[in-house]
Structure 1
């Protein structure tokens, strides 16, 4: 699975509609509106790089209200849950 974080600049008056339209696109797992340098952050998950190449410029970039995108491909995921699960391998849950 390929995960990409897409930073999205939008027209200020269309953030909610633009976010929902992006969230409805196949391959987009989550969309967050946020404060800071970008208006929206989308998390995309696809199985092949070619799908990502179609998804960002071909679909997300063409949503009305999207002005610009900046895509970052994730190499590895780190989380507390993953670390705890790794150390729990082989442990009986009843202990």
Structure 2
């Protein structure tokens, strides 16, 4: 299984609609609206690199309002407890 993060720069008036449309793509597990140079981040779970290519080029990039993407491949996942702590707001 391949895990990829797709950073997406979108036209300002299309961010919310794109977030919803991207979340509906079959390979997409989650979509987040974020701060910084990109507007959205999509978490994809895929069987192989061909599926990644299809998801990005024929899926995400084909949507109206997507200006640019950058794809990051995950090498390793760390224990869930550590990931939960990293995303916790306010700490424990």
Q: TM-score range by the shorter chain?
A: 0.7 to 0.9
What residue number does 2:54 align with?
54
DSSP-derived class of the 1:29 partner: strand
**How far apart in 2 are the matches of 1:19 and 1:36?**
16
Runs of 4+ in 1 over 6 A off after TM superposition: none
**How far apart in 2 are the matches of 1:53 and 1:74?**
15
What residue number does 2:38 align with?
38
DSSP-derived class of the 1:59 partner: helix
**How far apart in 2 are the matches of 1:77 and 1:33?**
22
What residue number does 1:71 align with?
71
What residue number does 1:90 align with?
none
- How much does 1:64 deviate? 1.1
**Gap runs ≥5 in structure 2:** 83-92
**How far apart in 1 are the matches of 2:3 and 2:49?**
10
- How much does 1:10 deviate? 0.1
Say what the alpha-carbon RMSD is for the aligned residues.
1.5
